């Protein structure tokens, strides 16, 4: 079984919806990290204070085919192609240790259902 890491970097206001979309698309476990980002354009300042929007990173390890389904669902449901409010990508995993056996069983069942 091949795995991938899915990373979604979203505007903070999309966090809850992003979690719901990912879980409904099959991502059972997620790591949520609160972050700040620097874009290509300079941030706006107001009385000498620079506003930097908060971001949320959703990270999960998924079976490779499922990672593409989750990525597609996030892109469509959050309208990421139309807005500059996030980016989603996957990275293939060559080695993995410590994954919960229940999650492996879930991946196997999902693959069986597709066959």
* 46, pLDDT greater than 70: no
Distance in angstroms (rounded) separating the CA atoms of residues 60 and 110: 17
CATH of region 3-114:
3.30.70.120
- Indicate the burial class of 5 (C-beta count within 10 angstroms; 0-12, 13-18, 19 or more): middle
Distance in angstroms (rounded) separating the CA atoms of residues 61 and 3: 7
Give the number of other Cβ atoms within 10 Å of residue 41's Cβ: 7
pLDDT for 84 equals 78
Per-residue b/e over 60-99, b at no fewer than 16 CB within 10 Å?
bbbbeebbebbbebbbebbebeeeebbebebeeeeeeeee
For residue 91, what are its two tokens? Answer: 């990275």
pLDDT for 75 equals 96
pLDDT band at 19; cut points 50, 70, 90: very high
The dihedral through the CA atoms of 20, 33, 70, 12 has a sign that is: positive
pLDDT for 82 equals 85
Stretch 69-94: mean pLDDT: 92
Mean per-residue pLDDT of the chain: 84
Give percent above pLDDT 90 in the chain. Answer: 51
This prediction's pTM: 0.78
In order of 21, 33, 50, 55, 56, the CA distances from 74 in angstroms are 6, 17, 30, 15, 14
């Amino acid at each position: 079984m091949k795995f991938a890491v899915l990373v979604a970097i979203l505007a903070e206001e999309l966090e809850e919806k992003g979690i719901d979309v990912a879980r409904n698309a099959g991502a059972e476990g997620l790591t949520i990290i609160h972050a700040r980002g620097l874009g290509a354009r300079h941030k706006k300042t107001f009385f000498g204070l620079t506003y930097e929007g908060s971001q949320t990173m959703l990270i999960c390890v998924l079976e490779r085919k499922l990672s593409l389904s989750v990525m597609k669902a996030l892109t469509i449901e959050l309208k990421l192609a139309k807005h500059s409010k996030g980016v989603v990508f996957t990275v293939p995993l060559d080695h993995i240790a410590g994954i919960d056996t229940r999650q492996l069983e879930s991946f196997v069942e999902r693959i069986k259902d597709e066959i």
